A and B are shown apart, each in its own frame.
Chain A
Amino acid sequence: MRDYILKFWQGLITIIIGMRVTFRHLFVPSVTIQYPTVKPELPERERNRLYVNMDDCIGCDQCARACPVNCIDIETVKSIPGDDLGVTSNGKKKALWVTRFDIDIAKCCYCQLCVFPCPTECIYMTDVYEFAELERENLVYDFVTLTEEEKIEKKKNFEEFTIKKEAEKAAAAKKKAEEDAKKKEGGDQAGEKPLDNKE
């Protein structure tokens, strides 16, 4: 009987204790953030969407090679001597036309491994995290600043340049071969002398 009343009493007391706790929480400021209007404060080193500052990019392809999921796709074309590509903000001379710099952010795993190798610090994580899309293709970001015509032009320039160079090279090789042949003729006679010297 004593146990019975004790149990009843305990039940009542614990209910009151619990109710006190919940009542106190009624006046505790809520932790909810009104999300689209109020943004949560992000941590200092948050990793979100990648951004590439193409003014600084030298097309070195190091980020693409560092990427563990191969989400960065870079294609470059060498510049020809007459081109002026400018310098990066930390004074590096650019030598490559970047004709393709696609980041498939759908593949990206936000590991930030691409950020560290960049010699010009032009690829970095931003604080943008609201970039949902309805189509997966829209998540492939194209950072190239060149227009399509320019890309074609640069490629053509380089091709012409290589053809020209090949031609020059071929001509030079030919010339050299001729010279070599000439030298050889003269050299055969002179060639025995050193051997004699060695003896």
Chain B
Amino acid sequence: MIYEWLHSITGSEIAAAIIQSLLPLFIFILPFALFAVLLERKVSAHMQDRLGPMRVGYHGIFQTIADIIKLVQKEDIVATDNDKKFFDLSPILVFAGSYAAFAAIPFSGAFVGSNIDLGIVYIVAVTGLVVAGILMAGWASNNKYSLLGAMRAAAQIISYEIPSLLVIVTVIMITGTMNLFTISEWQTQYFWNWLILGGPVVGVAKFLLIPLMIVSFLIIFLSTLAEVNRTPFDIPEAESELVSGYHTEYSGMKFAMFFLAEYANMFAVSAVVSALFFGGFQSPVGYLGKLFGAAWLIPIEQFLWFTAKGLFFVFVQMWLRWTLPRFRVDQLMAFCWKYLIPFSFVILILVGLITVLL
């Protein structure tokens, strides 16, 4: 584990903990956000038969870095009627919420920020901070579009937490643990042992679980998509209706914080989905490290597999974004309350019966 290694190097628990807590931010979230913004632009461009950024570096690979430089240089505009304190606080809160989620995400067998037993529930709880931050941002902006966007975001995120939590409870019933690290470990390597294909325990239950797990994967994927305000659930920041929703009034680095939080969130939910249903950091086909007897290679491979899976789901999110049009508010609520929640309830009961009876 990286923590022990850091502890032995620095000789201080506090320093080791601080370094470890900063690791995901600097070696993962920031590079990922840089990459994901570019990926988003490239994917959207190519899906519309365009090229996307092409000027900065080879095929525009330094575009996001140039954007960051631009954002740093920009003036931080604060309108006179803004509620300054909350206006300044909300981007930090939103980012803190999405960053805190990374604490319980197992990046690889050797690195999990905090191996807490409540893992998945903790993630759901801290991402709730994002709602507070968004509502705060909308309200403090003193702008009707921002407030509308924030209200929509709050309603949407809270509604969609129900189906995602129900699916999480379903998973917890099967695995018997809330620790994401244990859940990932439990779905050992090889893809047929992943929960989407019924888990590693071979038996009648496994085959009964497969269709239920596929549907519950769809449910949690769609509801987490709604929780991070991505299209088709992007009514809180609907450009054509609300300028850009709760972050209309923000500029410069504060806006960049929202942006960073959005992309961090995208990866966080993708990571949660992959940890729950797709084996987390586990390789689908076995490890090279095991093949060659190099144990040090395994955590690196696991990290790469985890990143690949997360990126795949991020890509699917982008893919959906450029496929589906935006929901209307009533359709959004109907989709959650009339479809996702009943379906997840039925699955919850069925999985409960399966786990008890078989």
Contact = CB atoms under 8 A, between A and B. Distances in A.
Interface string B75-97: 00000000000000000000000
Contact of A25 (B48, B54, B218, B320): B48
A26 B46 contact: yes
Nearest to B232: A15
B49 A19 contact: no
| Interface of A, helix, strand, loop or mixed by DSSP | helix
Contacts of B122: none
Contacts, number: 40
A22 B49 contact: no
Contacts of B46: 25-27, 30
Interface of A: 8, 12, 15, 18-19, 21-23, 25-32, 34
B10 interface: no
A32 B50 contact: yes
B47 interface: yes
B355 interface: no
B43 interface: yes
Given A23-B319, A27-B46, 16 more contacts: A12-B218, A15-B320, A15-B324, A19-B319, A19-B323, A25-B48, A25-B49, A26-B46, A26-B47, A30-B45, A30-B46, A30-B49, A30-B50, A32-B45, A32-B51, A34-B51
A21 B50 contact: no
Contacts of B43: 26
A30 B53 CA distance: 13
A34 B54 contact: yes
Contacts of B319: 19, 22-23
B47 A30 contact: no
A83 B49 CA distance: 63
Interface residues of B, number: 17
Contacts of B320: 15, 19
A31 B50 contact: yes
Nearest to A17: B323
12 contacts: A8-B339, A12-B218, A19-B320, A22-B47, A22-B322, A28-B49, A30-B45, A30-B46, A30-B49, A31-B49, A34-B51, A34-B54
Interface string B26-55: 000000000000000001011111110010
Contacts of B54: 34
Top-10 shortest CB links A-B = A32-B51, A18-B323, A22-B323, A22-B47, A30-B51, A30-B49, A32-B50, A26-B46, A19-B323, A25-B47
Nearest to B322: A22
Contacts of A26: 43, 46-47
Contacts of A25: 46-49
Contacts of B45: 30, 32
Contacts of A22: 47, 319, 322-323
Contacts of B323: 15, 18-19, 21-22
Contacts of A30: 45-46, 49-51
